[in-house]
Amino acid sequence: MGVYTDECRRLLELIGGKENIGAVSHCVTRMRFVLNDPKRADIRKIEELPSVKGTFTQAGQFQVIIGNTVSAFYNDFTDVAGIDGVSKESVKSAAKNNQNIIQRLMADLAEIFAPLIPAIIVGGLILGFRNVIGDIKMFDNGTRTLVETSQFWAGTYSFLWLIGEAIFHFLPVGIVWSITKKMGTTQMLGIVLGLTLISPQLLNAYSVASTAPADIPVWDFGFAKVEMIGYQAQVLPAILAGFTLVYLEKGLRKICPSVISMIVVPFFALIISVILAHTVLGPIGWKIGSVISNVVNAGLASAANWLFAAVFGFFYAPLVITGLHHMSNAIDLQLISDFGGTNLWPMIALSNIAQGSAVLAMIFLQRGDIKAREISIPACISCYLGVTEPAIFGVNLKYAFPFICAMAGSACAAAVSVGMGVRASAIGVGGLPGILSIIPQYIPIFALCIAIAVAVPFILTYFVGRRKLSMAASDNTSHRADNEYIGNKTDNSKCEIKAFLSGKVINIEDVPDKVFSEKILGDGVAIEPSDNILTAPADGEIINVMEGSFHACGMRLKNGVELLFHVGLDTVSMNGDGFECFVKEGDKVKAGDNLILFDPEKIIAAGHPTVTMMVVSDEGNTSNIEFFTGGIAVARETVIAVCERLENEK
Residues paired with 24 in a beta bridge: 33
pLDDT of residue 242: 94
Question: Which is more confidently placed, 624 or 39?
Answer: 39
Query: 437 and 353 in one domain?
Result: yes
Q: What is the mean pLDDT of residues 187-210?
A: 88
Question: Which is more confidently placed, 427 or 603?
Answer: 603
The full 3-state SS of 270-335, as one line of letters, equals: HHHHHHHHHHHHHHHHHHHHHHHHHHHHHHHHCCCHHHHHHHHHHHHHHHHHHCHHHHHHHHHHHH
Residues in the chain: 650
**pLDDT bracket for residue 634 (50, 70, 90):** confident
Cα separation, 26 vs 37, in Å, equals: 19
Given 42, 73, 99, the domain boundary residue is 99
> Of the candidates 455, 462, 384, 356, which has an alpha carbon nearest to the alpha carbon of residue 413?
455
Residue 488 maps to a domain: no
Query: 342 and 270 in one domain?
Result: no
Query: 215 and 288 in one domain?
Result: yes
pLDDT at 600 over 90: no
* Helix pair angle (5-14, 70-81), 10° resolution: 70
> Of the candidates 227, 650, 130, which has an alpha carbon nearest to the alpha carbon of residue 440?
130
Cα separation, 541 vs 543, in Å, equals: 6
Q: Which of 104-113, 208-217, 473-482 has the highest mean pLDDT?
A: 208-217
Domain hosting residue 10, numbered range: 5-99
pLDDT at 298 over 80: no
pLDDT of residue 491: 46
Residue 581 maps to a domain: yes
Q: What is the mean pLDDT of residues 172-182?
A: 90
Are 288 and 248 spatial neighbours (Cβ–Cβ below 8 Å)?
A: no
Given 281, 296, 311, the domain boundary residue is 296
- Please give the distance of CA 462 from its chain centroid, rounded to a whole number: 20
pLDDT of residue 395: 78
**pLDDT bracket for residue 54 (50, 70, 90):** confident
pLDDT of residue 448: 95
pLDDT at 339 over 90: no
Query: 523 and 466 in one domain?
Result: no
Residue 501 maps to a domain: yes
Query: 179 and 120 in one domain?
Result: yes
Cα separation, 182 vs 277, in Å, equals: 20
Are 452 and 416 spatial neighbours (Cβ–Cβ below 8 Å)?
A: yes
* Residue among 27, 380, 412, 581 flagged as catalytic: 27
Q: Which of 187-196, 333-342, 504-513 has the highest mean pLDDT?
A: 187-196
pLDDT at 539 over 70: yes
Cα separation, 30 vs 12, in Å, equals: 15
Percentage of the chain beyond pLDDT 90 is 31
- What kind and span of H or E run contains 529? strand 524-529
pLDDT of residue 626: 87
* pLDDT, tens only, 443-471: 999 999 999 999 999 999 999 888 776 55
pLDDT at 255 over 90: yes
Query: 338 and 458 in one domain?
Result: yes
Backbone phi, psi, residue 533, to 5°:
-125, 115
Q: What is the mean pLDDT of residues 189-195?
A: 95
Q: Model-level pTM?
A: 0.48
DSSP class of residue 392 equals: I
Given 439, 474, 509, the domain boundary residue is 474
Lowest mean pLDDT across 177-181, 259-263, 481-485 = 481-485
CATH number at residue 91: 3.30.1360.60
CATH number at residue 521: 2.70.70.10
Percentage of the chain beyond pLDDT 70 is 83
Query: 514 and 411 in one domain?
Result: no
**pLDDT bracket for residue 34 (50, 70, 90):** confident
**pLDDT bracket for residue 22 (50, 70, 90):** confident
Query: 444 and 530 in one domain?
Result: no
* pLDDT, tens only, 471-518: 544 444 333 333 333 333 344 457 889 999 988 899 998 888 877 888
Cα separation, 468 vs 398, in Å, equals: 13
Based on the residue annotation, tell me whether 495 is a catalytic residue of this protein: no
- What kind and span of H or E run contains 446? helix 443-475
**pLDDT bracket for residue 114 (50, 70, 90):** low
- What kind and span of H or E run contains 569? none
Are 583 and 589 spatial neighbours (Cβ–Cβ below 8 Å)?
A: yes
Report how many domains make up the chain.
4
Residue 480 maps to a domain: no
Query: 328 and 267 in one domain?
Result: no
pLDDT of residue 452: 96
Query: 327 and 269 in one domain?
Result: no
**pLDDT bracket for residue 96 (50, 70, 90):** low
Query: 415 and 383 in one domain?
Result: yes
Q: What is the dihedral of CA 339, 345, 346, 349, to 10 degrees?
A: -170
Burial 138-172 (b: 16+ CB within 10 A, else e): eeeeeeebbbeeeeeebebbeebeebbeebbbbbb
**pLDDT bracket for residue 93 (50, 70, 90):** low
Are 534 and 568 spatial neighbours (Cβ–Cβ below 8 Å)?
A: no
Q: What is the dihedral of CA 448, 449, 454, 457, to 10 degrees?
A: 130
Secondary structure of residue 532 in the 3-state scheme: coil
Count of helices and strands (H, E) across the chain: 23, 20
Backbone phi, psi, residue 434, to 5°:
-60, -20
Cα separation, 635 vs 368, in Å, equals: 12
Q: What is the mean pLDDT of residues 148-152?
A: 92
Cα separation, 404 vs 161, in Å, equals: 40
CB count in 10 Å sphere of residue 31:
24
Query: 71 and 52 in one domain?
Result: yes
Beta strand spans in 133-254 (E): 218-220, 225-227
